[in-house]
Structure formats: structure tokens, C-alpha cells
Homo-oligomer: A and B are copies of this chain.
Amino acid sequence: MSKPVVSSPPLDLDAVPCCTPIARDRVPAQAAGVLAQAFKALGDPIRLQLMSMIASAPGGEICVCDLTPAFTLSSTTISHHLKVLREAGLVDAERRASWVYYRARPALMRQLATLLAVEEPAAI
């Protein structure tokens, strides 16, 4: 098994127990913890932009060396934000040579989108 080049806590995505829209069923307290962690990770303007740059990157991945200069922040701060996204299960990191590349984890993104789904306004 390929050991992750960047230390990442386990966080089994399949363990996230919730998948119905919050507008349909009340989210269970236990699921709320994991899911809120993901929303919290997106709840910062810098991280939301990072997530967007990663998710929209051509080829599905982007180098940290391309992320860092996009902001007027120290590279340590960017690294910290990337760690938050990683620990929330929203992105994956892989080191190749001297560079680290990030990719989005679409499973969790889809899950969050499903949670926020709203029924279309009833047909007239």
C-alpha cells in the first residue's frame, strides 16, 4: 500500500453515515460532527478559493507551487489551510519529486451537495 507522502489522519469516508438532504430528514447528531467539519473547512474565504482552484484544476490536480503565489499569504499559512482541507477529507495530496499535488475528493463534495439539495418549487 502506498504510504501517503503527506501525513493524513485516517478519516474513513465511508464511515460518514448521512446522505439524505437536510431538508428531508434531521441529520443525526453523530453524523453532524463529521459533516460539520467539512463545512467548516469550506468556511474560510482562503480555503474556499483553494478548494475551488484544486477542484477546477485542469487534469484534476494542481501543484502547491501554483497555489501559494495566488495569495498574499505566507506559504506556511497556505500549508495550514491545505491541511485543514485534507483533514476534512475534501482533498488528497501526493508528492512527486520535489512538488506536492492536490486533488479534490469528489465523494465528499457530492455528499455535501446532496445534503444541501432542496426540492424544486412545486410545479404550478
Q: Which residues of A contact B (CB under 8 A)?
A: 21-27, 29, 32-33, 35-49, 51-53, 55-56, 104, 106, 109-110, 112-113, 116-118, 121
Check A112 against B116 for contact (C-beta < 8 Å): yes
Check A43 against B37 for contact (C-beta < 8 Å): yes
CB neighbours (8 Å) of A23 from chain B are 52, 55-56, 104, 106, 109
Partner of A45, one of B32, B44, B45, B109: B32
Whether A26 touches B52, Cβ cut-off 8 Å, given contacts A106-B118, A112-B116, A118-B106, is yes
Check A45 against B49 for contact (C-beta < 8 Å): no
Partner of A22, one of B35, B36, B38, B51: B51
CB neighbours (8 Å) of A37 from chain B are 43
CB neighbours (8 Å) of A116 from chain B are 109-110, 112-113, 116
Given A36-B45, A39-B42, A43-B43, 19 more pairs with CB closer than 8 A: A21-B55, A22-B48, A22-B52, A22-B56, A23-B106, A23-B109, A27-B48, A32-B52, A36-B44, A36-B47, A40-B42, A41-B43, A42-B43, A104-B118, A109-B118, A110-B116, A113-B113, A113-B118, A116-B116
